[in-house]
Amino acid sequence: MKSKFIYLLLLVSSIGFAQSVNDYKAVIIPLRYDFLKFDNQYRLATLTKVNLKKAGFEAYYANEAFPNGYNERCNLLNVDVLKDSGFLTTKLFVIFKDCNGKEIFKSEVGKSKEKDYEVAYTEALNRAFESVYALGYKYDGTPAINNVNTGAVTPQGSVAAVTAVAATAAVAVNVPSNNTEPDGSVLFAQPIKNGYQLIDSTPKVVMKIYKTTNPSVYLATKGDLQGSLSLKDNQWYFEYYEKDTLMSEKIAVKF
């Protein structure tokens, strides 16, 4: 009787989550998970993509060029793989998050007692994906962006900083160039706490941006530079001061 109740509970939960993931057209895969030292170490990024495809998802690495129709960042899910602590046991689970970092689905834990890391991670990840397969994913054609809550968390002091930049907007602006980066590349947004990190195709973290109460304005850091990233006429601009001169750089960002 108890086992039937647990099965029913998991079934109801799976149905609820399936209705959520079905709102998203595709999934973005990072090349490196937090518990790894190198990109695609143990081929876990590759294995994630294989499993996502098997589960019915369209899946793309974060540094890939997305095809037409996949440019709206909030219609795409972000996948992450987390490692849980365990004595002599490798434990992994899969998490799907939306463009604001909100958790949409968390898989059951996949376990392995293999001693070889590559074998253990492969086995654990494949088992974690079993509960993803159970979702029976199928894109329902409803854009997820219609249901996205644009409310944002504001880091300490961000309102004052953004206000200060806005107050000086009337000052003559020096625009160094119209290029996005030195090679004209697009930066890809990956969710972090309270914002995103923008990576190039290397992939290398080029900028970090943090949410404010205005979804069109982010606090931004680029190396030693600090300023704001603002959306103007459907184009993002990184604005900062250099020797008392307000600088503005056009940045191509794929959210």
Both tokens of residue 14? 């799976």
pLDDT of residue 95: 95
pLDDT of residue 13: 44
DSSP per-residue codes, 101-167: --EEEEPPPEEE--SSHHHHHHHHHHHHTHHHHTT-----S--GGGG-----PPPTTHHHHHHHHHH
Q: Identify residue 146 by its one-letter amino acid code.
A: N
pTM of the model: 0.54
pLDDT of residue 145: 59
Sign of the Cα pseudo-torsion (31, 33, 36, 41, in order): negative
**Cα dihedral value 174, 179, 182, 219, nearest 10:** 60
Q: What residues of the chain score a pLDDT lower than 70?
A: 1-19, 143-184
pLDDT of residue 156: 41
Q: How far apart are CA 191 and CA 208, in angstroms?
A: 10
pLDDT of residue 36: 93
pLDDT of residue 158: 43
pLDDT of residue 174: 47
Find out whether the peptide bond into 191 is cis, omega within 30 degrees of 0.
no
| Cα–Cα nearest to 190, from 59, 28, 21 | 28
Both tokens of residue 70? 């996949």
Q: How far apart are CA 208 and CA 129, in angstroms?
A: 30
Q: How far apart are CA 175 and CA 87, in angstroms?
A: 56
pLDDT of residue 146: 53
Q: List own/partner pairs for 190-193 with CB under 8 A and 24 or more apart.
A: 190/28, 190/30, 190/62, 190/78, 191/78, 191/97, 191/99, 191/100, 191/101, 192/101, 193/101
